[in-house]
Chains A and B, each alone.
Chain A
Amino acid sequence: TQLLEQSPQFLSIQEGENLTVYCNSSSVFSSLQWYRQEPGEGPVLLVTVVTGGEVKKLKRLTFQFGDARKDSSLHITAAQPGDTGLYLCAITSGSRLTFGEGTQLTVNP
Protein backbone atom coordinates (compact mmCIF):
# COMPACT_ATOMS: atom_id res chain seq x y z
CA THR A 1 0.00 0.00 0.00
CA GLN A 2 1.40 3.34 -1.06
CA LEU A 3 1.63 5.74 1.84
CA LEU A 4 1.31 8.79 -0.36
CA GLU A 5 -0.88 8.69 -3.44
CA GLN A 6 -0.43 11.36 -6.05
CA SER A 7 -2.76 12.23 -8.88
CA PRO A 8 -2.66 12.55 -11.72
CA GLN A 9 0.32 10.38 -12.46
CA PHE A 10 0.87 12.04 -15.83
CA LEU A 11 -0.27 15.44 -17.03
CA SER A 12 0.35 17.07 -20.39
CA ILE A 13 -0.97 20.59 -20.86
CA GLN A 14 -0.49 23.65 -23.04
CA GLU A 15 1.43 26.70 -21.97
CA GLY A 16 -0.77 29.13 -20.09
CA GLU A 17 -3.12 26.55 -18.61
CA ASN A 18 -3.65 26.01 -14.90
CA LEU A 19 -3.26 22.69 -13.15
CA THR A 20 -3.56 21.06 -9.77
CA VAL A 21 -1.66 18.06 -8.44
CA TYR A 22 -2.94 16.16 -5.44
CA CYS A 23 -1.17 14.20 -2.72
CA ASN A 24 -3.36 12.07 -0.48
CA SER A 25 -2.94 9.69 2.40
CA SER A 26 -4.98 8.06 5.12
CA SER A 27 -2.33 9.03 7.67
CA VAL A 28 -1.85 12.30 9.49
CA PHE A 29 1.49 14.01 9.02
CA SER A 30 3.27 16.64 11.04
CA SER A 31 4.59 18.15 7.82
CA LEU A 32 4.75 17.51 4.11
CA GLN A 33 7.22 18.56 1.46
CA TRP A 34 6.94 19.15 -2.27
CA TYR A 35 9.87 18.58 -4.61
CA ARG A 36 10.47 19.08 -8.31
CA GLN A 37 12.87 16.88 -10.20
CA GLU A 38 14.27 17.22 -13.69
CA PRO A 39 15.65 14.27 -15.65
CA GLY A 40 19.08 13.18 -14.52
CA GLU A 41 19.10 15.38 -11.45
CA GLY A 42 18.22 15.14 -7.81
CA PRO A 43 14.91 16.50 -6.49
CA VAL A 44 14.80 20.11 -5.41
CA LEU A 45 12.74 21.16 -2.43
CA LEU A 46 9.97 23.61 -3.29
CA VAL A 47 8.17 24.00 0.00
CA THR A 48 7.43 22.46 3.38
CA VAL A 49 3.93 22.78 4.82
CA VAL A 50 3.42 22.24 8.50
CA THR A 51 0.10 23.65 9.71
CA GLY A 52 -3.28 22.20 8.77
CA GLY A 53 -4.97 24.50 6.27
CA GLU A 54 -1.73 26.27 5.52
CA VAL A 55 -1.32 27.90 2.12
CA LYS A 56 2.07 28.86 0.75
CA LYS A 57 2.82 30.61 -2.50
CA LEU A 58 5.97 30.43 -4.55
CA LYS A 59 5.52 32.70 -7.57
CA ARG A 60 2.95 30.88 -9.74
CA LEU A 61 2.86 27.84 -7.46
CA THR A 62 0.36 27.58 -4.61
CA PHE A 63 0.68 24.82 -2.04
CA GLN A 64 -2.00 23.85 0.43
CA PHE A 65 -1.94 21.48 3.37
CA GLY A 66 -5.27 19.90 4.23
CA ASP A 67 -7.01 20.88 7.43
CA ALA A 68 -6.59 17.35 8.78
CA ARG A 69 -2.95 17.21 7.59
CA LYS A 70 -3.65 14.10 5.51
CA ASP A 71 -3.47 15.65 2.08
CA SER A 72 -1.92 18.44 0.11
CA SER A 73 -2.25 20.09 -3.27
CA LEU A 74 -0.03 21.98 -5.63
CA HIS A 75 -1.64 24.45 -8.02
CA ILE A 76 0.29 26.01 -10.88
CA THR A 77 -1.12 29.09 -12.56
CA ALA A 78 -0.34 29.87 -16.20
CA ALA A 79 2.04 26.96 -16.61
CA GLN A 80 5.19 27.48 -18.64
CA PRO A 81 7.43 24.96 -20.44
CA GLY A 82 10.00 25.51 -17.73
CA ASP A 83 7.58 23.99 -15.23
CA THR A 84 7.99 20.62 -16.93
CA GLY A 85 9.28 18.01 -14.52
CA LEU A 86 8.42 15.37 -11.97
CA TYR A 87 6.59 16.75 -8.97
CA LEU A 88 6.87 14.73 -5.79
CA CYS A 89 5.26 15.08 -2.42
CA ALA A 90 7.15 13.56 0.51
CA ILE A 91 6.87 13.00 4.22
CA THR A 92 9.45 12.34 6.87
CA SER A 93 9.49 9.52 9.37
CA GLY A 94 12.34 10.01 11.75
CA SER A 95 15.01 11.16 9.33
CA ARG A 96 13.74 8.98 6.48
CA LEU A 97 12.12 10.74 3.55
CA THR A 98 9.36 8.84 1.75
CA PHE A 99 8.14 10.07 -1.61
CA GLY A 100 4.76 9.89 -3.22
CA GLU A 101 4.24 8.25 -6.59
CA GLY A 102 5.02 11.45 -8.45
CA THR A 103 3.27 13.49 -11.12
CA GLN A 104 5.07 13.84 -14.43
CA LEU A 105 4.10 17.24 -15.83
CA THR A 106 4.75 18.25 -19.41
CA VAL A 107 3.96 21.79 -20.48
CA ASN A 108 3.90 22.16 -24.24
CA PRO A 109 4.77 25.51 -25.86
Chain B
Amino acid sequence: DVKVTQSSRYLVKRTGEKVFLECVQDMDHENMFWYRQDPGLGLRLIYFSYDVKMKEKGDIPEGYSVSREKKERFSLILESASTNQTSMYLCASSSYRGGNQPQHFGDGTRLSIL
Protein backbone atom coordinates (compact mmCIF):
# COMPACT_ATOMS: atom_id res chain seq x y z
CA ASP B 1 0.00 0.00 0.00
CA VAL B 2 1.05 3.55 -0.69
CA LYS B 3 2.08 5.41 2.41
CA VAL B 4 2.28 9.17 2.57
CA THR B 5 3.37 10.35 5.97
CA GLN B 6 3.07 13.90 7.23
CA SER B 7 5.25 14.80 10.17
CA SER B 8 2.54 16.21 12.44
CA ARG B 9 -1.24 15.81 12.71
CA TYR B 10 -1.64 19.00 14.74
CA LEU B 11 0.64 22.01 14.99
CA VAL B 12 0.31 25.34 16.75
CA LYS B 13 2.65 28.20 15.85
CA ARG B 14 2.84 31.93 16.40
CA THR B 15 2.54 34.75 13.89
CA GLY B 16 5.86 35.51 12.23
CA GLU B 17 7.42 32.12 12.89
CA LYS B 18 9.02 30.09 10.12
CA VAL B 19 7.10 26.82 9.89
CA PHE B 20 8.21 23.58 8.27
CA LEU B 21 5.77 20.87 7.23
CA GLU B 22 7.34 17.61 6.15
CA CYS B 23 5.98 14.88 3.91
CA VAL B 24 7.51 11.53 3.05
CA GLN B 25 6.24 8.89 0.62
CA ASP B 26 7.48 5.34 0.34
CA MET B 27 6.39 4.43 -3.20
CA ASP B 28 9.14 6.03 -5.27
CA HIS B 29 6.60 8.45 -6.76
CA GLU B 30 7.84 11.15 -9.09
CA ASN B 31 5.10 13.68 -8.33
CA MET B 32 4.42 15.29 -4.99
CA PHE B 33 1.89 17.97 -4.06
CA TRP B 34 0.99 20.34 -1.25
CA TYR B 35 -2.64 21.44 -0.86
CA ARG B 36 -4.54 23.32 1.75
CA GLN B 37 -8.17 22.58 2.53
CA ASP B 38 -10.53 25.12 4.03
CA PRO B 39 -14.29 24.90 4.65
CA GLY B 40 -16.21 26.23 1.68
CA LEU B 41 -13.06 26.62 -0.44
CA GLY B 42 -12.26 22.97 -1.09
CA LEU B 43 -8.78 21.81 -2.01
CA ARG B 44 -6.34 24.43 -3.28
CA LEU B 45 -2.95 23.56 -4.73
CA ILE B 46 -0.01 25.44 -3.23
CA TYR B 47 2.98 23.84 -4.98
CA PHE B 48 3.87 20.63 -6.71
CA SER B 49 7.03 18.88 -7.78
CA TYR B 50 7.51 16.39 -10.57
CA ASP B 51 11.13 15.54 -9.83
CA VAL B 52 13.91 16.11 -7.34
CA LYS B 53 14.82 19.81 -7.09
CA MET B 54 11.94 20.69 -9.45
CA LYS B 55 8.96 22.72 -8.30
CA GLU B 56 5.97 24.41 -9.86
CA LYS B 57 3.64 26.99 -8.37
CA GLY B 58 0.06 26.02 -7.84
CA ASP B 59 -2.88 28.35 -7.41
CA ILE B 60 -1.91 29.94 -4.09
CA PRO B 61 1.90 29.95 -3.65
CA GLU B 62 2.14 33.34 -1.96
CA GLY B 63 3.66 33.10 1.51
CA TYR B 64 4.91 29.56 0.94
CA SER B 65 8.00 27.88 -0.44
CA VAL B 66 8.92 24.24 -0.96
CA SER B 67 11.95 22.02 -1.02
CA ARG B 68 12.52 18.66 -2.64
CA GLU B 69 16.09 17.51 -2.11
CA LYS B 70 15.26 13.79 -2.15
CA LYS B 71 12.67 11.96 -4.20
CA GLU B 72 10.75 10.70 -1.20
CA ARG B 73 10.54 13.97 0.73
CA PHE B 74 8.69 17.20 -0.04
CA SER B 75 8.73 20.03 2.47
CA LEU B 76 6.41 23.01 2.70
CA ILE B 77 7.75 26.15 4.34
CA LEU B 78 5.73 29.05 5.66
CA GLU B 79 8.30 31.82 5.54
CA SER B 80 6.58 34.07 8.09
CA ALA B 81 3.39 32.49 9.39
CA SER B 82 0.24 34.57 9.42
CA THR B 83 -3.19 33.87 10.89
CA ASN B 84 -4.73 33.44 7.42
CA GLN B 85 -2.51 30.40 6.96
CA THR B 86 -4.41 28.53 9.64
CA SER B 87 -5.68 25.54 7.71
CA MET B 88 -5.55 21.82 7.04
CA TYR B 89 -2.46 21.05 4.93
CA LEU B 90 -2.46 17.94 2.79
CA CYS B 91 0.46 16.30 1.04
CA ALA B 92 -0.09 13.92 -1.88
CA SER B 93 2.04 11.88 -4.23
CA SER B 94 1.52 10.09 -7.52
CA SER B 95 3.42 8.04 -10.01
CA TYR B 96 3.85 9.25 -13.53
CA ARG B 97 3.75 5.74 -14.97
CA GLY B 98 0.92 5.57 -17.50
CA GLY B 99 -0.10 9.16 -16.81
CA ASN B 100 -3.40 8.25 -15.13
CA GLN B 101 -2.16 7.22 -11.73
CA PRO B 102 -4.12 8.61 -8.78
CA GLN B 103 -2.81 10.94 -6.12
CA HIS B 104 -2.46 9.43 -2.66
CA PHE B 105 -2.81 11.67 0.36
CA GLY B 106 -1.38 11.81 3.82
CA ASP B 107 -3.57 12.27 6.88
CA GLY B 108 -3.03 16.01 6.89
CA THR B 109 -1.57 18.55 9.29
CA ARG B 110 -4.03 20.83 11.02
CA LEU B 111 -2.01 24.01 11.51
CA SER B 112 -3.13 26.82 13.79
CA ILE B 113 -1.34 30.18 13.69
CA LEU B 114 -1.95 32.28 16.78
Pair from one complex: no
Interface residues of B (CB under 8 A from A): none
Interface residues of A (CB under 8 A from B): none
